[in-house]
Amino acid sequence: MDKKLRIDLQRVPKHVAIIMDGNGRWAKGKGMNRIFGHRNALNAVRDSVEAAAEINIEAITLYAFSTENWNRPKLEVDSLMTLLVNSLKKELPTFMKNGVKVNAVGLITSLPKKAQKALKEVFEETKNNSRIVLTLALSYGSREEIVNTIKNISKKVVNKELNLEEIDENTINNHLYTFNLPDVDLMIRTSGEQRISNFLLWQLAYAELYFTDVLWPDFRKEHFYDAIIDYQNRERRFGKTSEQITE
């Protein structure tokens, strides 16, 4: 039976986040360098976005490059930035065909000028697409995002634009990079690692976490659907008891 047919389309997560892990190990297993793994990860990205759009998921966020990734060897970082630019240009027709609106979060201004330019062009071209929002987390770290949020809220308090007593969860949500996205319902991490790695810490507060041993370059639609099916077999209680949920 087609796995997609097992999915209840009335209970799909609104927002799925993915930590795309395992490119280096995949390449090493083939006797190649890490860059080879990154280059062969595009099919996994394409399959995941298309699978999400096909079952009417509203948003998908991919952890593409963390603030800590700047500490990797310069050759790998430079290659990743070049790959980002080339991939955005190559995938634009696919984004348009599938109604994908592209967005990005993180310290975008820290990216090379070519990468920033390519991102702006894709943002502009896809801004009216409405089937699904694809957010790329680039030069992103959740702790940095939270620090930035606190600073911006503090400035408003100091400037008397906001009263201290008015600060609540909505205030924080509205100052995060992801202010225009719903909270994450499902977080997927590939390659067998079971860590969040400074990714969307606030937004993952009540997310279901799904870990798979599949290395990211091998991740395909069927694996994405496996994660959705697993998600739908869980009971999401949000602090309540099972009996309360049943009622």
- Which residue intervals of 31-107 are DSSP H helices? 34-39, 42-54, 74-97
Query: Where exactly are the structural domains of the chain?
Result: 3-141+185-233
Q: What are phi and psi of 109, to 5 degrees?
A: -70, -10
CATH of region 3-141+185-233: 3.40.1180.10
| Residue 31 marked in a binding site | no
196 and 187 Cβ atoms separated by less than 8 Å: yes
Q: Report the pLDDT value the prediction gives residue 246, as an integer from 0 to 100.
A: 64
Tens digit of pLDDT for each residue in 33-52? Answer: 998 999 999 999 999 999 99
Angstrom distance (rounded) from CA 183 to CA 13: 10
Tens digit of pLDDT for each residue in 63-99? Answer: 999 999 999 999 999 999 999 999 999 999 999 999 9
Closest of 6, 12, 11, 118 to residue 64, by C-alpha: 118
Angstrom distance (rounded) from CA 187 to CA 62: 10
| Residue 25 marked in a binding site | yes
Angstrom distance (rounded) from CA 130 to CA 124: 13
| Residue 195 marked in a binding site | yes
| Residue 66 marked in a binding site | yes
Tens digit of pLDDT for each residue in 144-164? Answer: 999 999 999 999 999 999 999
Q: Flag whether pLDDT at 245 surpasses 70.
A: no
Closest of 181, 182, 199, 201 to residue 190, by C-alpha: 199
Known catalytic residue: 21?
Answer: yes
Q: Flag whether pLDDT at 226 surpasses 60.
A: yes
- Would you state the torsion angle of the CA atoms of residues 87, 88, 92, 96, taken in this order, to the nearest 10 degrees? 120
| Run of H or E residues at 65 | strand 59-66
Residues in the chain, overall count:
247
The first and second tokens of residue 123, run together, are: 């943002």
Q: Report the pLDDT value the prediction gives residue 2, as an integer from 0 to 100.
A: 85
Q: Report the pLDDT value the prediction gives residue 167, as an integer from 0 to 100.
A: 97
Q: Flag whether pLDDT at 244 surpasses 60.
A: no
**Mean of the pLDDT values across residues 214-228?**
98
Q: What SS3 state is found at 200?
A: coil
Known catalytic residue: 86?
Answer: no
Q: Which residue has the tokens 């319902």?
A: 185
Task: For residue 193, give the DSSP letter.
Answer: -
Candidate list 21, 98, 103, 185, residue with the active-site label = 21
Q: Which residue has the tokens 């976005």?
A: 49
Q: Flag whether pLDDT at 247 surpasses 90.
A: no
| Residue 153 marked in a binding site | no
Q: How confident is the model at residue 239 (pLDDT cuts 50, 70, 90)?
A: low
Q: How confident is the model at residue 209 (pLDDT cuts 50, 70, 90)?
A: very high
Candidate list 33, 69, 86, 198, residue with the active-site label = 69
